Amino acid sequence: MIVMDAPPPQENCKPFVDIAFLLAKSGINVPKIYAEDLERGFLLLNDLGNQTYLDVIDSENADNLFNDALQALLAFQQLPMVAPLPSYDVALLRRELQLFPEWYVKHELGVEFDAAQQVLWQQVSDLLIDSALAQPKVLVHRDYMPRNLMLSEPNPGVLDFQDAVYGPVTYDVTCLFKDAFLSWPEERVRGWLENYWQQAAALDIPVQPDFEDFLRASDLMGVQRHLKVIGIFARICHRDGKPRYLGDVPRFFAYIDAVIARRPELAGLDVLLASLRAGVTA
């Protein structure tokens, strides 16, 4: 057993408790809550083990581990959207995107957008937000990645779900395969995405009917998330004094560049990022 100590007002255990109950009902392996004191922020939980997917995954076992992860994802995407959870809306998506100029551009690069860059940023933000809002909605974990999946029985154990919302159907599966801390060959990711898409469609999860449309939605959703996380990693460095996460920022730019290369509608983002790089090296 483990004790979670998350004292109010800094932390709020109730979303964790409520969503754990919701996920457990669908057979997902989440921590069992043996006792709770929400007023003082204490939970007594069972231990799902000490090995995350990130600790053990490699090119040999990835297919099997990701298949288990997809089964859990498909299970909670089938849950009816009846819980009182927030939804990804324009305000939340834009607030996330603004982390990039506020923390990466301003604090890490030490510059601010000029007028032309601001116009490009507004156009890119609107495109990414419109794409996200056009997608069918399901329950979204928001951090469904190897670091939050435990090697467990049944596999996987799922953690860090307290920020769940209702939102774009491609969000979690994109997060799973375009991770902050490890990368996979693009053709392999495409195969995993197609496997998910086929299974989801067979279960009447509201994925896009055409696989190419699904891939485009996944690509744009990934860019929104990557820009957000770049901003978060810069904030962790400059506000919290923890610079180690900045070492993974090039991985996110590599994901973004790969999408830009196949999505001409992101030409404005290409110009914007090139101008930022030129400004830094000038």
* pLDDT tens-digit map of 160-187: 898 999 999 999 999 999 998 999 999 9
Q: Closest by alpha carbon to 155, among 58, 61, 43?
A: 61
* 196 token code pair: 């998910």
Q: Is the pLDDT of residue 282 over 60?
A: no
CATH class for the domain made up of 1-47 = alpha beta
Q: Closest by alpha carbon to 210, among 200, 220, 197, 195?
A: 197
* Domain over 49-281 is classified CATH 3.90.1200.10: yes
Show me where the domains of the chain are located: 1-47, 49-281
Binned at pLDDT 50, 70 and 90, residue 83 comes out as confident
Mean pLDDT (whole number) for 21-29: 88
User: Residue 133 class from Cβ within 10 Å (0-12 exposed, 13-18 middle, 19+ buried)?
Assistant: middle
Q: Closest by alpha carbon to 196, among 79, 65, 29, 67?
A: 67
**pTM (2 d.p.):** 0.92
Q: At what angle do helices 211-238 and 90-97 cross, to 10 degrees?
A: 50
- How many other CB atoms are there within 10 angstroms of residue 163's CB atom? 14
